[in-house]
């Protein structure tokens, strides 16, 4: 049976008292991307993190954070979220019997993610503010003694070190699936709060130190309207169609910069139009429906290929961080539902035009 905590136990902070919580996270498919390989001239693979139990990569870190919260006697967990962290925290908290509170920017959470948090019975706290403000509030609420009842609430955002520990297992899986990684491997991923790029780099460096792998280059991509790491300064009012990465002041800023610089990689910006073009490309040409934020990494490598900036002989793994089903509104806003037809073969044949 799939269980991230037992598969990678030797690399995780698991003790004999840690409950072996699982919803079947990790072990996600790594598939070849033939159309994208033709488009970029590189050998491209897609890591389908949308196949995790709640439909995003967040489950890898959340299972560790919630298991450790239980071990340490917490009764409740809290997070700020652009949606996926909330969905994941709510699911694992439900499984573990903990109360879960989620602070979210009102009106900026994709419908599927909100439905998940609500169905798992999280205490949903929408605020009139953006993610960065939500995180500040969640951090304060998790301070000991900050609630009148004095309950101990564990913060499960990626500043919780157990989140990064769990998320680094994505890097282990890439090496385990590809065999030895050579220096021509590039890992492309979207960057928001920057926990994931920090975690992947930690995973690769741990395997490297254990003599299991060479080190890849980390290619992070932010949305142009929410690209503080590219600009080199926080952004007051971040804007992008990719709501999951609508973040102006990433908590793991230093981890992201270290991943970029130590790996000889880059962190650049892609426009919303480029993100949406990659979102369509993946759905129409690769048969993979991811959420808009997840397409930022793919948009980035398409851009680099056009500018002839991909390393010669590059092998690229794009981390598709979340499922397209998370955000049905964005998908349907870009497609027109055909009008109903008469229920006859004749009408259907004419409509098909084949």
Binding site for ligand PLP (CB under 6 A): 56, 82, 84-85, 158, 190-196, 244-245, 291, 293-294, 321-322
| Dihedral angle of Cα 304, 84, 324, 231, to the nearest 10 degrees | -20
CB of 193 to ligand PLP, least distance (A): 3
Q: Which is nearer to ligand PLP, 303 or 321 (CB)?
A: 321
CB of 86 to ligand PLP, least distance (A): 9
CB of 1 to ligand PLP, least distance (A): 26
If one counts every other C-beta atom within 10 angstroms of the C-beta of residue 315, the result is: 18
Q: Which is nearer to ligand PLP, 98 or 320 (CB)?
A: 320
Residues 6+ apart with CB under 8 A from 181: 174, 175, 204, 213, 214, 215, 216
Q: Which is nearer to ligand PLP, 18 or 196 (CB)?
A: 196
CB of 292 to ligand PLP, least distance (A): 8
Q: Which is nearer to ligand PLP, 116 or 321 (CB)?
A: 321
Return the ∠ at Cα 4 (arms to 262 and 96), rounded to 5°. Answer: 120
Burial 218-253 (b: 16+ CB within 10 A, else e): bbbbbbbbbbbbbeeeebeebebbbbbbbbbbbbbe
CB of 165 to ligand PLP, least distance (A): 14
Q: Which is nearer to ligand PLP, 195 or 228 (CB)?
A: 195
DSSP code, position 56: B
CB of 348 to ligand PLP, least distance (A): 37
Q: What is the DSSP string of 268-336?
A: EEE-HHHHHHHHHHIIIII---B-GGGGHHHHHHHHHHHTT-SPTT-EEEEEE-BBGGG-HHHHHHTS-
Q: Which is nearer to ligand PLP, 154 or 196 (CB)?
A: 196
């Amino acid at each position: 049976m799939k269980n991230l905590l037992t598969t990678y136990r030797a690399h995780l902070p698991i003790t004999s008292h840690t409950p072996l919580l699982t919803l079947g996270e990790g072990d996600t498919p790594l598939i070849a991307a033939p159309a994208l390989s033709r488009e970029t001239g590189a050998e491209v693979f897609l890591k389908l993190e949308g196949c995790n139990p709640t439909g995003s990569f967040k489950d890898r870190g959340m299972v560790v954070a919630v298991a450790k919260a239980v071990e340490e006697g917490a009764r409740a967990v809290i997070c700020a979220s652009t949606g996926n962290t909330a969905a994941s925290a709510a699911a694992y908290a439900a499984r573990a019997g903990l109360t879960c509170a989620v602070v979210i920017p009102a009106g900026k959470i994709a419908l599927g993610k909100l439905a998940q948090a609500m169905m798992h019975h999280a205490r949903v706290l929408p605020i009139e503010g953006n993610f960065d403000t939500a995180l500040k509030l969640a951090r304060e609420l998790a301070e000991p003694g900050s609630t009148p009842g004095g309950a101990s609430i564990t913060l499960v955002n990626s500043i919780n070190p157990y989140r990064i520990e769990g998320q680094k297992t994505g890097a282990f899986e890439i090496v385990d699936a590809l065999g030895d990684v050579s220096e021509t491997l590039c890992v492309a991923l979207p960057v928001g709060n920057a926990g994931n790029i920090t975690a992947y780099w930690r995973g690769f460096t741990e395997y490297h130190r254990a003599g299991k792998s060479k080190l890849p280059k980390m290619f992070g991509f932010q949305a142009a309207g929410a690209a503080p790491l590219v600009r080199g300064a926080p952004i007051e009012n971040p804007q992008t169609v990719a709501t999951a990465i609508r973040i102006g002041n990433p908590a793991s800023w230093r981890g992201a910069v270290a991943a970029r610089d130590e790996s000889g990689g880059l962190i650049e910006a892609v426009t919303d139009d480029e993100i949406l073009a990659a979102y369509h490309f993946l759905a129409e040409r690769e048969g993979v429906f991811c959420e808009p934020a997840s397409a930022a990494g793919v948009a980035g490598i398409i851009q680099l290929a056009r500018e002839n900036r991909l390393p010669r002989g590059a092998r690229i793994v794009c981390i598709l961080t979340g499922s397209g089903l998370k955000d049905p509104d964005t998908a349907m806003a870009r497609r027109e539902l055909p009008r109903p037809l008469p229920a006859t073969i004749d009408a259907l044949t004419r409509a098909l035009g084949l």
